[in-house]
Structure 1
């Protein structure tokens, strides 16, 4: 017996070690009641496979009404199966998704009131088998979730569309950690039979893909909730010639509510999309509808106001969805700007409150709680807009948002994993936050991070030493150093793509922050190299190598600029100065030479997990960086020649032309400035104006 918390994710509501132990052996059986159906048999098969994988024992599954088997693992559904010999405590009535697990010398018994609870009890037993092998310590566990809905949302519309094999692995793994909702954020990456040009050349998923994934999810008690953007973020569709007239403004962001044709079009998309899903819910998204009601519908807005036009649009989406037998979810951000309208939202609309920064409290929850509408809290993995996730931000965001959500009456958590700017980050970067989210949603944010880490290492990473978790934490903190931290992003990825000589990073970033990036990544590599899972190992090692490359690139740019300044006053063309310039040029050539193999590895890893999709968004960015390396080298060689001729060096880079080299959020800011021109400053949310430097 031990007093330590069990190595389980998520931690159970109640758990106690007891004396004795149960030994698995060749005569052990998995016993189901005679009335057990397909769902119970599926859970039993899952347990059977896990024990075979860990212990090398293929335990037979039997159906029996007998209550006196020895050395048995019994799966009991209350109200269906005979439970007359249940150990003390298992006779209590259990709630939805709850289970009771008892391990004694005689065997193990899992009791639940419903099939999800039975499945979750099996997952807990599987984790104990993975920790203890054939000899399971005695224990009693009673468990149930705090939040009934515990979801993950993966962006599949920002250039990367995972393969069905990747999505299958995702669903199976999430189910093991008791996640019961999965959404794939979709703008255009579906093969719409009625509108085939929308998903053309994007790696779009088919109805067959969704049907297969839906079946995989249903077997594991995951609701695969259809997610289709139906208001803003529709630029891909609205940029196609045949749909441009449906754009609200020339910015081509939101679909116009001024034309009935918009709703006929959405109805056709729903008719193509929704039959592949068995869950009677549709997330219509509708967030960040910045130009909605500002163009074709501006006369409607002049009468009723922008908020009312948006509300009427949502009501029409609700009506469309209901024709297809669906209840809708929507992001709540627009209504945060029009709180007076929340009371007019029908009570069956599920509101999704999102925010992706770690805060001490989340004030938007107050209005949602008072509205009596069902709502989720939606934190983020903090894995986008960075090379490696902002781990501490993600953990604080998840923990505090779930904590406040539970207190305010939230019915669920939807942890978001976005793919801004091309979804260059691999899925492996998100697993730590995924499982932490599963932990917080199940327990109501009560588990200490140290307890979670102690279980995450051995259960998910296969590392009981704690070294890999330590490496993940240090890398996460390296990208969040004050010199690199930004709201919703980290400058580490800007360092990778920034202009080699004239870029902001080379001008502004303290060397110490860059050196910590390198040190953290180098320290992580041995731990990552020992990971048994090849996908995790390769993707995390590649991520660490990109961190090192990005920091080295900026440090070299700083060194070159410093050398130019120090040598500018020396017009003698000294051998020492020339050698210094030659060395810097050679090192820049080396970094340039390392870039094409890095791009090739990026592409290879991408294609192992994802369709080719719109990878060119990223490949073009790399190609532009390669061109900047060539320009920098050409200019620097010219400076070397000037120095040899006794001419003054250009220390201020006045003769160096970086061109209009805009990357990542610099390009995004340019696009948003165009939005301000189109809709007017008053129409843009304050947080966007602050980001653009236009706030009063």
Structure 2
């Protein structure tokens, strides 16, 4: 076996044979398929794609080389998504079992031609995935709803990475529910027609577009609307700590109007998708058993109370002929209810911290005969630029334990908490790494993905951006903070200008929230490396100038990453001002405030401009609210200082 051929995801096996393969763009294709197999071949458009790739990536120079001979045949004993690709002389032979396997074989052939042109060593590639389902779940429920062209481009990238599952997470009015449109006049949702067209586009590329709608917890946008407040378990919300109040977010499971609302949503949403599945989520019903259902919870237990409502949701899904996907945080916390899970329900086990393993939950679900997927994260949300080391450790642990304990798939999640400030390119390393290790864990755990980011995702002639993005997501190491699921720099931007005492009390409260949610007592510590962060920002700004991308959205990507650096700089600057680092007197404070005000105005303007490049307008004002609040705080502080001098 050889590893000299660069492919991503790296295949299961690459075997070198004697000689060299040389291609011409002129091609003779033999499709050795029966009439019953013709539909699979036509679904993949194999002949058209092979001819197009040879024409695009090879050059005929005359001479003795014969036309490229391509043979495509079916071999039923292969994995349904597997294939064998043999290159010898001027001959290409593709064998496959299912249409998806043929599709992936052609993707590999296209990638070889794109990277090596018309000449490479004779070899045979034998390949199939470790995990059947390999996907992305993108949050469109918190502020940021992508434009359709953004979603089509995402599916194209997924196709090249052999990913086959896409969910768009929804918890508010992200889909145009006609029955409730008057409640959300400010939103810019995806329409039924748009979902239908996206579904058809994805299906042609062997990507299952799975509908997604939260329907128990995370219902705050609905419960805030007039006429829906009374459906809440705790209409007034609840306090996690004395200083940390949460709005009402969980439906009252005992009120029949709760399942009526869920049924209404499904009846409008689900007919627009051809997928056999729907993700009903049902995670983090924080108030469950604390309010209107408290007596019932005391009688049968919170886990059983949860399952009572879940069973009604399952029935609503079955009415549409679909199978249920649901998050596993409640059932793994209440394992006594696991035996009551129906066989047509798949549990999505989530965990986003590299320091915490999937193993215990995977073993629990496997031992109870429960179908499940592992769901790590991109680590991009609430960070501005990601947490690269955590992302890789988290995703690899998910893939390893998913494979070990029989998971049906891996879905990498890309959330939008606290404004969805991360730009899309920041999430690409997580998408790419998840695609690699979910396809073949051993072949891709250490395989260099920076080259794929450079060549395929960004087409960067400088070869810089892959390593740049990986380092951009590691600034959190310079914070030396024990915060989970976020960076300290991102956190201070969400809180704004506070006194040191207020900031530090808020951090203690946040750690208490994490402790309550995770069921483990945590401690907070930070050793913020301010000077090192300033040096890092300067270095990253210079490195970004070296990038030479040729993708269609190159200018947008460059501007997004430049503004990402500005946002981090704002967080670093806010920390400096609150702790008065190097600001010995009022004159220095005023000068620094004026400087950072000017930079923040530019950052906000650029954030707004770039938002409209990829996303719909709805949610933008909410996303920017913390930035505008901070700007006002700075201006007021500057005014105060000027009034006393």
TM class by smaller structure: 0.7 to 0.9
More displaced, 150-159 or 480-489? Answer: 480-489
Deviation at 1:508, TM superposition (A): 7.4
Give structure 1 stretches of 5+ with no counterpart: 58-68, 80-92, 565-580, 642-696
Contact 2:26 2:67 in 1 (8 A): no
- 492-501 or 222-231, larger mean C-alpha shift: 492-501
In structure 1, distance between residues paired with 2:21 and 2:600: 55
Change in 2 beyond 3 A, CA 1:313/1:501: closer
| Alpha-carbon offset, residue 121 of structure 1 | 0.6
Q: Is contact 1:191-1:199 (8 Å) kept?
A: no
Are residues 1:459 and 2:456 paired?
Answer: yes
> Which position in structure 2 is the counterpart of 1:42?
45
The answer to whether 1:247 aligns with 2:232 is: yes
Per-residue CA deviations over 1:193-235 (Å, capped at 9, x if unaligned) read 2222355422211111111111111101111111110110001
2:386 aligned counterpart, secondary structure: coil
Aligned to 2:533: 514
- Report what 2:219 is aligned to: 234
Q: 1:616 to 1:4 in 2, by over 3 A?
A: same
Alignment of structure 1 residues 200-239 onto 2, 5 Å? 200-239=185-224
In structure 2, the residue matched to 1:537 is 558
1:104 to 88, 94, 99: 88
Change (3 A) 1:259 1:549: closer
For residue 224 of structure 1, give the secondary structure of its aligned residue in structure 2: strand
Contact in 1 for aligned 2:289/2:296 (Cα 8 Å): yes
1:75-90 aligned at under 5 Å gives the runs: 75-78=72-75
Q: Distance in 2 between matches of 1:638 and 1:365?
A: 62
Q: Is contact 2:354–2:390 with CA below 8 Å preserved after alignment?
A: yes
Q: Cα offset for 1:548?
A: 3.2
| Secondary structure in 2 matching 1:242 | coil
Greater mean deviation of Cα atoms: 623-632 or 459-468: 459-468
Structure 2 unpaired stretches of 5+: 61-65, 238-247, 508-525
Q: Does 1:634 align with 2:634?
A: no
User: What stretches of structure 1 move > 6 A for 4+ residues in a row?
Assistant: 505-508
Measured in 1, the distance between the counterparts of 2:335 and 2:583 equals: 54
CA pair 324-198 structure 1, distance change in 2 beyond 3 A: farther
CA distance in 1 between partners of 2:185 and 2:49 (Å) = 38
2:24 maps to: 25
Question: How do 1:181-200 residues align onto structure 2 when only pairs under 5 Å count?
Answer: 181-188=165-172, 189-197=174-182, 199-200=184-185
Q: What is the CA-CA distance between 1:545 and the residue it aligns to?
A: 3.1
Alignment CA distance shift 1:560-1:344 (3 Å)? closer
Deviation at 1:306, TM superposition (A): 1.4
The answer to whether 1:551 aligns with 2:572 is yes
What is the rounded CA distance, in whole Å, between the counterparts of 1:234 and 1:56 in structure 2?
A: 57
Alignment of 1:637-676 (within 5 A): 637-639=642-644, 641=645
What TM-score, normalized to structure 1?
Answer: 0.81
How far is the alpha carbon of 1:337 from its aligned partner?
Answer: 1.7
Matched pairs, number: 599
- Say if 1:232 and 1:253, in contact at 8 Å, map to a contact too: yes
Distance 1:107 1:540 in 2: 44
Superimposed CA distance per residue, residues 643-676 of structure 1 (whole angstroms, 9 cap, x where no aligned partner):
xxxxxxxxxxxxxxxxxxxxxxxxxxxxxxxxxx
Q: Displacement of 1:583 after TM fit?
A: 5.2
Q: Distance in 1 between matches of 2:618 and 2:48?
A: 35
Secondary structure class of the residue paired with 1:563? coil
Q: Which moved more, 1:116-125 or 1:302-311?
A: 302-311
CA contact (8 A) 1:11 1:439 kept: yes
**Separation (CA, whole Å) in 2 of partners of 1:364 and 1:234:** 26
Matches within 5 A, 1:258-407: 258-359=254-355, 361-362=357-358, 363-407=360-404
Superposition pairs of residues 669-684 of structure 1, within 5 angstroms: none
CA contact (8 A) 1:321 1:328 kept: yes
Q: Does structure 1 residue 606 correspond to structure 2 residue 617?
A: no
Q: Distance in 1 between matches of 2:356 and 2:367?
A: 20
Larger radius of gyration: 1
- Residues 547, 278 of structure 1: CA spacing in aligned structure 2 closer, same or farther, 3 A cutoff? same
| Secondary structure at the counterpart of residue 353 of structure 1 | strand
Change (3 A) 1:320 1:500: closer
* Structure 2 residue aligned with 1:691: none
Residues 296-320 of structure 1, C-alpha deviations (whole Å, 9 max, x = no match): 2223223212111101111111111
Looking at structure 2, the residues matched to 49 and 468 of structure 1 have their Cα atoms a distance apart, in angstroms, of 28
Sort the Cα spacing of 1:559 and 1:51 in 2 relative to 1 into closer, same or farther, 3 A: farther
Aligned-pair distance for 1:365?
1.9
**Structure 1 residue 536 displacement after superposition:** 2.8
Q: Distance in 2 between matches of 1:133 and 1:598?
A: 42
After superposition, give the CA deviation of every residue in 1:333-367 in whole Å (9 maximum; x if it has no partner).
Answer: 01122111101111221001101000363322221
Partner of 2:519: none
After superposition, the Cα gap between the structure-2 partners of 1:237 and 1:122, relative to the gap in structure 1 and judged at 3 Å, is same
